[in-house]
Amino acid sequence: MVFDYLPQTVSEIVKQIGGENPDYVEIKLYSWQLFNGLAYLSNINFSIVQVALQNHICHRDIKPQNLLIEPISGILKIADFGSAKFIRKSTQSTSYQVTRYYHVWSGGCVLGEITKGSILFPGKNTKHQLKLVVDALGSPNETELVDMKARIQFTDDRTEPCGFRPFLPHASEEIIDIIQRILVYSPKKRLCGKMLLSDPFFQELFAPNKRRTNGTFVSNAITLDDLQKIPFVFSIFNFAKKLTALGFH
């Protein structure tokens, strides 16, 4: 079996592109490809191949170490499917209904980690991890608990949300905004699929001849084939190309 050679993982570059001076083009480039790949696996708003119409794959181990990159071209690919689960849509399974949203949450945490330059919620153990999430989002209400199919009980003492700014002190407002629309308790309210991929947060990636910090074109990583799957983004891209051809920049 022969695979493309991708020499690095996202975990190796988080400190380079995140932290006190985030490289937003790189962050957007890698996170867009991640969410595009997760949408493909989860079949969220996409008709891909016949088998995917009846089934989808839940990776279940999305983290920077499992995201391979080719730093010169900027291509990202999801790796390590050792924990993946094949979910059948035809079965009356709770897992089919909720596992697709695990991907979105994991992707949001990766976006936060890339931006921060370190783990977004650095929990020391399970209990501390949960506390950090509740600190950011506040205590879930009854509706959110039902939506999450939560198996734990919360006390009557509610924690007010502090938001993501304390966790991402150097991040731009647009990063904070998109993360807080992805990382919400209710799975079906998480920004995902086409709506996420066509969000204005990623718009600068689709400018004609957009270059990365190393001088290479974004289009080396995000191709026209990728954009054609998302009509809204593709129409913006074509419109921008026409303006450029007419002399507008």
Q: Report residue 247's pLDDT band, with 50, 70 and 90 as the boundaries.
A: very low
Q: What is the pLDDT of residue 42?
A: 76
Q: What is the pLDDT of residue 94?
A: 52
Q: What is the pLDDT of residue 39?
A: 86
pLDDT in tens, 15-73: 999 999 999 999 999 999 999 999 888 764 444 444 444 557 888 899 999 999 999 99
Give domain limits for the chain: 8-245
pLDDT in tens, 195-242: 999 999 999 998 889 999 999 999 999 987 787 766 555 555 555 555
Q: What is the pLDDT of residue 148?
A: 87
pLDDT in tens, 137-161: 999 998 999 888 887 777 667 889 9
Catalytic positions, written as ranges: 61
Q: What is the pLDDT of residue 68?
A: 98
More confident residue, 122 or 246: 122
pLDDT in tens, 180-195: 999 999 998 999 988 9
Question: What is the secondary structure of the chain as a DSSP string?
Answer: -------EEGGGTHHHHSSSS--HHHHHHHHHHHHHHHHHHHTSS----HHHHHEEEE----SGGGEEEETTTTEEEE---TT-EEEETTS--HHHHHHHHHHHHHHHHHHHHHHHTS-SS--SSHHHHHHHHHHHH----HHHHHHHT--S---SSPPPP--STTT-TT--HHHHHHHHHHS-SSGGGS--HHHHHTSGGGGGGGSTT-B-TTS-BGGGTS-HHHHHTSHHHHHHHHHHHHHHHTT--
- 248 has pLDDT over 60: no
CATH topology of domain 8-245: Transferase(Phosphotransferase); domain 1 (1.10.510)
pLDDT in tens, 91-117: 555 554 455 678 899 999 999 999 999
What's the whole-model pTM score?
0.85
